[in-house]
Structure 1
Amino acid sequence: MPFVMKPTAVAALLTPLLIGTAHLVQAQAEKPVAIDKRYETEIQNLAKRPAVQSAFKFFMDLEPQTKQDLINLTETPSPPFKEQVRARKYADMMKAAGADSVWLDDVSNVLALRRGKGRQKTVVVEAHLDTVFPEGTNVKVKQKGDTLYAPGIGDDTRGLTAVLAVLKGMEKTGIETDADVLFVGAVGEEGLGDLRGVKNLFKPNGPKIDSYIAVDGDGIDEITHRGLGSHRYRITFKGPGGHSYGAFGIVNPHGALGKAIYYFTQEADKFTREGVKTTYSVSVIGGGTSVNAIPYESWMEVDMRSESADKLNGIDKLLQTAVQRALNEENQMKRSGPDLTVDVKQVGDRPSGRTEPTVPLVQRAMAVAKFMQVEPKLSVSSTDANTPIANGIPAITIGSGGKGGNEHSLNEWWLNDKGYLGMQRVLLVLLAEAGMK
């Protein structure tokens, strides 16, 4: 049901939520977490305010324009490391929506500042500009029934439109905050982008940030408060290469690669069977030129993940040890020619960490979910919130409403199933965190 009600209706709706002193939410593999009563009361009081009720209704009335914004942005390609065209378009949309100042930083993040009255604090609301799809991908939106289909339409173009709609709603209804609000369209969230957009925000000369709300995914129940860290490597063994018969006896990079994979996966299997969930994958391999040629190089790309920094560093050490063991053993087998060498290049380093469920930002997000009559779900994932979490800044990632699926595929889809609830949710979390004048 829509959350646009008269105060009396709000009170009636909240009656069942006021029973008992706390509500519980089950975090993944963790003990139930209580929602502090004061945050429930805070959200209930915010939702009763006339300007907030007006904004709730505005989001509903804005649905046709929000849909058009989603189509326009989706059909503006934003491949990895080439987000500039979409960034400029999004900046123009933010200016038109009424932000006090809008600019692109040196990596093409879009920053739109809406000044608060107190200006003692800055709250970020962010979605990412990039998609996983390479340049040349057909991103034309197709509609079948009430569902929109296109690469990237949900992840995270829908998040961009939700953030934009929240800015529009605040401007339309005259909502003022005590803190500054920085609306951000960030580059480099996906794949080898390695969170470069948000990492740039947290450089020493970056903007002051006190709290961080990332908008990614769909629905209104999930709250990502734990950052899934990852280490990614491209490892290349190199040798002289030569004829499979005439040069026989020289070092073979494929031999070293095979040994490295074997030694690593044997030890990693044992290491990951206990403790915090930690994963590993030899995801891509390549090299060689012909069946009758000893290759001059052999390479692999490896992904390792854990929300525990210690476990992540531990499995990383196993990889490095396996690579050096394989290198030494292959060199000992040579009969002629130079030694094999190895190039170990880290291509991804996403920090891990957590914002504790007792922190006000998480509590407020939980209270908003409960207010909207859904059970809050605390989760772990790899999102733009990883970086602020690792920097000690309270941060979460929440969905943008509606329903979606087939992310990272050409038949990705998004369904506007009461999508306005996503904006209502973002607004309530934001206002609770930024303070409403």
Structure 2
Amino acid sequence: MRDLLNAKRKEMLQFVEQLVNIDSGSYTKKGIDEIGLILKAKFEGLDFIVDVVKQKEYGNQLVIQHREAVQPHILVVAHMDTVFPEGTVLKRPFKVKGNRAFGPGVADMKASLVEIFYAILCLKQTGQTGYKHVQIILNSDEEIGSPSSSSLIAEKAARKKYALVLEPARMDGSLVTARRGCGQFKIDIIGVAAHSGIEPEKGRSAIEELAHKIIAFHQLNDRKKGISVNVGMIEGGSAVNTIASHAAGFVDVRITEKRQEDFILKQMKKICAKSNIPGTKTTLTGKMDRSPMEKTEKTTMLLETIREAGKEIGINITDTATGGGSDASFTADLGIPTVDGLGPIGGNAHSEEEYLEIPSLTERTLLLATVIQKLSKMNEKPNSD
């Protein structure tokens, strides 16, 4: 498998370039669907069935498995969308500098899409059978919380034994075995407008009330417990000489353990139920989009299998926890052993300096193929006498 992938190194990088040079931000449906059609044709060329789950607002989702697959027990998840708006590719298309490739979404996660295809191709062309035990979901809206694909992932994951998620590996090559849960909320405050010079006593400042709420929300932060609450954006008021009749704050919440969700929601509701400025009214909306991905005993066992695969091909596998969210949270929440960060190594995701470590493209493809083959053998029943 190593020889085959090394022979296809240039071809793989050219495929990354092709995908990177298509704008596919979460709201750029045309670009995502174009990428989906390219991947659909590629997998169909390997005798895979590609089910296109059409979407009106977001890009279409793809569900992929081999024609001979019967109840595949390995789920592989990756996303086709990026965080970059339409037109980004024209400003900074794919480029190579030394051992690194640059471009919008090059690591998060255009390279991972290439990795999945070539891992399957590698298994098939070397006479392995692991590809028959895999179902692949390529979704289109991960970067905005997977609003249209989370239910699809949960549905397909329900009967799986393992979930492999292809977010990029950390900069040091580590895989991800724990992620914090995340949610987005909005604080809406209604006050009473009044001229701030002529009759300020008649006003009830929504901005002043929001200031109290922001301080109270930030006091919920607890680094030791892994709870983060951040009011990252605010808006309000209509004129500098008018007491604000409306204000709003936008809140990002991160938790480390699932049991923390009820606690943090109760505390936020309690804060919003009380008015520090009489005559103002506060409404809290939003939800936790993803539960935490906690490192369980089953996850540790899956990680050990991946470590064994890494050892076989000369890669030392390490793991870590991260504060960012991903689709791994959906599979982990169902109790399915899940390991994330199985994509190629990259860094500076979501920025103009995002990069891919080119040598890791073939290396991590070989790792994925080896892991799939090992997990497929673990599911085979021994022959009875």
Residue 359 (structure 2) aligns with: 417
Equivalent of residue 216 in structure 2, options 263, 279, 284: 263
What is residue 63 of structure 1 aligned with on the other side? 9
8 Å CA contact retained: 2:189, 2:210: yes
Alpha-carbon distance between aligned partners in 1 of 2:377 and 2:34, rounded to the nearest angstrom:
30
CA distance in 1, matches of 2:223, 2:154: 36
Match of 1:298 among 224, 244, 247: 247
2:48 to 100, 105, 112: 100
Q: Is the 8 A contact 2:196 2:242 kept in 1?
A: yes
Query: How far 1:113 sits from its partner (Å)?
Result: 1.2
5+ long unaligned stretches in structure 1: 1-54, 333-338
Conservation of the 8 A alpha-carbon contact between 1:353 and 1:389:
yes
The one of 327, 348, 352 equivalent to 1:406 is 348
2:188 matches 1:236 = yes
Q: What is the identity, as a one-letter code, of the residue corresponding to 2:318?
A: K
1:224 to 170, 176, 183: 176
Q: Percent identity?
A: 19
Q: How does 1:21-420 map to 2 (within 5 A)?
A: 55-97=1-43, 98-107=46-55, 108-116=60-68, 119-137=70-88, 138-177=91-130, 180-190=133-143, 193-196=144-147, 198-203=149-154, 208-218=159-169, 221-246=173-198, 248=200, 249-266=202-219, 268-269=220-221, 272=222, 274=224, 276-325=225-274, 328-330=275-277, 332=278, 339-346=279-286, 348-359=288-299, 360-381=301-322, 382-401=325-344, 403-420=345-362
Is the partner of 1:130 in helix, strand or coil? coil
Contact 2:75 2:157 in 1 (8 A): no
Answer yes or no: is the 8 Å Cα contact 1:111–1:183 preserved in 2. yes
3-state SS of the aligned residue for 2:276? helix
Aligned partners of 2:289, 2:360: CA distance in 1, in Å?
37
Give the counterpart letter for 2:352 in structure 1.
L
Partner of 1:51: none
TM-superposed CA distance for 1:211, in Å, is 2.1
- Shift of the alpha carbon at 1:112? 1.6
Instruction: For structure 2, list consecutive stretches of 5 or more residues without a partner in the other structure.
Output: 381-385
User: What is the aligned residue count?
Assistant: 366
Residue 284 of structure 1: SS of its match in structure 2? strand
CA offsets 1:328-383 (integer angstroms, 9 cap, x no match): 222x2xxxxxx433332215521114352455422211222333444432322322
Would the alpha carbon gap of residues 356 and 101 (structure 1) be closer, same or farther in structure 2, given more than 3 Å must change?
same
Structure 1's 146 and 374: CA in aligned 2 closer, same or farther, altered over 3 A?
closer
- Whether contact under 8 Å (1:128, 1:189) holds in the other structure is yes
Larger Rg: 1
Distance 2:138 2:326 in 1: 14
> Cα deviations across residues 49-98 of structure 1 (Å, max 9, x unaligned)?
xxxxxx32221111111111111111111112334532442343343342
Normalised TM-score (structure 2): 0.85
TM-score w.r.t. the length of structure 1 is 0.76
C-alpha distance in 2 between matches for 1:361 and 1:87:
33
Q: Secondary structure at the match of 1:398?
A: coil
| Cα offset, 1:397, TM superposition | 0.7
Contact between 2:124 and 2:131, CA under 8 Å: does it hold in 1?
no
4+ aligned runs moved over 6 Å, structure 1: none
Letter in 2 for 1:121: P
Give, as a single letter, the amino acid of the residue that structure 2 aligns with 1:200: S
Task: Rate the CA distance shift 1:353–1:398 in 2: closer, same or farther, 3 A.
Answer: closer
Deviation at 1:184, TM superposition (A): 2.3
Distance 2:72 2:99 in 1: 41
One-letter identity of the residue aligned with 2:9: E
8 Å contact 1:304–1:316 — kept in the other structure?
no
